[in-house]
Amino acid sequence: MTHLELTKPFQSRELAKAIVKKINKLSVELSKKGFEKINIMHVCGTHEHTITYYGLRALLPENINVIAGPGCPVCIVPAREIDEAIKLAKEGIRIFTYGDMYRVPGSYEGLSQAKAQGARVTIVYGFLDAIRLAQKSEEETVFFGVGFETTAPTTASFIVNNKVPKNLSILMSYRITVPAVEYILSAPHNLNGIICPGHVSTIIGAGAWSFISEKYELPTVVAGFEPIDVLLAILYILEQLINGKAELINEYKRVVKWEGNQVAKKYLSEAFMVADRDWRGIGVIPNSGWLLNDKYDYLDAREKFNVKIDKWIDIKGSCKCADVVLGRAIPTDCPYFGTSCTPQHPIGACMVSSEGTCSIWYKYGGHMIRKMRKDINTEGI
Amino acid sequence: MCLGIPAKVLEVNDNIALVDYGGGVKKKVDCSLVPDIKPGEYVIVHAGAIIERISKEDYEETMKILMELLKYSK
Ligand code: SF4
């Protein structure tokens, strides 16, 4: 059996129909109970990709609104940190970056433009690639460490296992999703349920989200990334709303354990310390990022090369990226969407990454869904 | 960027695993986060590293739920 066969049942049209039928029934009951709109937020770019790519919003009844939250680790890296990487690259230090980060604009330009002007930038698939490439020469190199809980542990494991070559240091840009979700929920909001990110949960465990159902009393589902996974998550949230319950359900049990990946968690706490970090255009969120533990100071690119940026520009003009990330705006609320801002000429970070909501909507036509709903009667599908 | 791709483990050697993504695509990935992984197991690979195994029992349990759903919708 290949992975394609493994995922196939989770893409089944028959199953989608069966689940949507149930969702439709529950949504009618919920509106009778006084729920005018049911707002469900997910916090993962891959979920947004699944929802938009498979057109799931078009299958859902009018009163169910699925909102994209802070799920794109590339979109929230402050321009300052991109400027730092560019500065280093222009000084002749080779920067290893993920492809997704390569074209994200900093204050004035992105790493791709800097490279066109001769800066040293190499795209890698992961930290292991960076280590291998660094080992091939004596030159100073820096890994641009971007990502959420899913990505950070690999870097941590190589650090703890002493496998980082002397000429490789790290520009720490890792962020933590849980505090960002808490940041949204602790402010006034109109959310009725949360779909938690499956692969972040692989590391931190489904249990890490229990505060959502306990403290904020919202139905919460940890979900996988196939269309059936997402539809099930929506169904489980509606079922809870009907029954007046707020529980945490792990739909993605086949991969996510309640306690997460203990090995990965141990590496994280050994290599990194949790710190207050800023998110692009949003500001500082308490305990929302990682920096290197004192013991590994020597791997810190900022200290090693004394790079410091005092002024930077996170948001340009009327770009609504920060609101899009927080689920307070949709891409089409932005005057630049699809006109002056496109994946070829991005103004904000959300239009660059394959996990950015603006980019996903642009590529797969997420903006058409509202119009389509009016034109096509999707009832009974 | 938290994209995870299912794959099958073919070989494991000193924290590096050779995985098969299907369709003839194979790649060497880091497996230090799941050190007890064995050839034949299915895993999720993210950014060049295995982040977790796919549990056979839980997979089958979910399939049962899906089949029930299908049965009662007819
Ligand atoms: S469309 Fe472009 S400018 Fe507008 S919010 Fe999205 S990234 Fe920012």
Do β-strands A168-174 and A141-147 pair in parallel, antiparallel, or remain unpaired? Answer: parallel
* Cα(A26) to centroid(ligand 1), Å: 35
ipTM given for this complex: 0.90
- Chosen for mutation from A15, A150, A249, A270 (greatest number of chain B CBs closer than 10 Å) is A150
| Residue in chain B lying closest to A7 (CA) | B6
Q: Which atom of ligand 1 is nearest to the CA of A348?
A: 7
CATH assignment, A3-71+185-259: 3.40.50.11750
Question: Which residues of chain A does B5 touch, with a Cβ-Cβ cutoff of 8 Å?
Answer: 3
Nearest CA to ligand 1 atom 7: A348
pLDDT tens by residue, chain A, 381 residues:
566 677 888 888 889 999 999 999 999 999 999 998 999 999 998 999 999 999 899 899 989 999 999 999 999 999 999 999 999 999 999 999 999 899 999 999 999 999 999 999 999 988 999 999 999 999 999 999 999 999 999 999 999 999 999 999 999 999 999 999 999 999 999 999 999 999 999 999 999 999 999 999 999 999 999 999 999 999 999 999 999 999 999 999 999 999 999 999 999 999 999 999 999 999 999 999 999 999 999 999 999 999 999 999 999 999 999 999 999 999 999 999 999 999 989 999 999 988 899 999 999 876 565 455 455 444 443
Structure tokens at B17: 């695993």
Q: Which residues pair with A249 in a beta bridge?
A: A221
Establish if B66 touches chain A: CB-CB under 8 angstroms. Answer: yes
For the entire predicted model, the pTM comes to 0.92
- Count Cα atoms within 13 angstroms, Cβ side, for A366: 24
The count of structural domains within chain B is 1
Neighbours of A93 (CB within 10 A): 21
* Cα(A335) to centroid(ligand 1), Å: 8
Nearest to B51 among A100, A158, A202 (CB): A202
SS3 content of chain A, % helix, strand, coil (to 5): 45, 20, 35
**Contact indicator for A315, A281 with CB cutoff of 8 Å:** yes
Which residues span the domain enclosing B47?
5-73
Cβ–Cβ of B62/A253 closer than 8 Å?
Answer: yes
**Contact indicator for A278, A285 with CB cutoff of 8 Å:** yes
**Contact indicator for A40, A65 with CB cutoff of 8 Å:** yes
Establish if B46 touches chain A: CB-CB under 8 angstroms. Answer: yes
**Contact indicator for A211, A186 with CB cutoff of 8 Å:** no
* Cα(A337) to centroid(ligand 1), Å: 6
Q: What is the pLDDT, as a whole number, of residue A367? A: 59
Nearest to A200 among B2, B23, B29 (CB): B2
pLDDT along chain B (74 residues), means of 10: 81 91 87 92 90 88 85 72
* Cα(B58) to centroid(ligand 1), Å: 40
Question: Which residues of chain B does A7 touch, with a Cβ-Cβ cutoff of 8 Å?
Answer: 6
* Cα(A173) to centroid(ligand 1), Å: 22
Ligand 1 mutation pick, A337, A344, A352, max ligand atoms within 8 A of CB: A337
Q: How far is A208 from chain B (nearest CA, A)?
A: 17
Nearest to A6 among B34, B42, B69 (CB): B42
Give residue limits of the domains in chain A.
Answer: 3-71+185-259
Do β-strands A220-223 and A193-197 pair in parallel, antiparallel, or remain unpaired? Answer: parallel
Give the span between the Cα atoms of B46 and B27, in whole angstroms: 12
Count Cβ neighbours within 10 Å for each residue of B29-56 and write b for 16 or more, e otherwise: bbbbbbeebeeebbbbbbbbbbbbbbbe
Task: Spell out which residues line ligand 1, taking CB within 6 angstroms.
Answer: A 319-321, 324, 331, 334, 336-337, 341, 347-348, 350-351, 358
Question: Which residues of chain B does A230 touch, with a Cβ-Cβ cutoff of 8 Å?
Answer: none
Helix axes of A227-242 and A45-53: crossing angle, nearest 10 degrees = 100
CATH code for the domain in which residue B65 is found: 2.30.30.140
Q: What is the pLDDT, as a whole number, of residue B25? A: 87
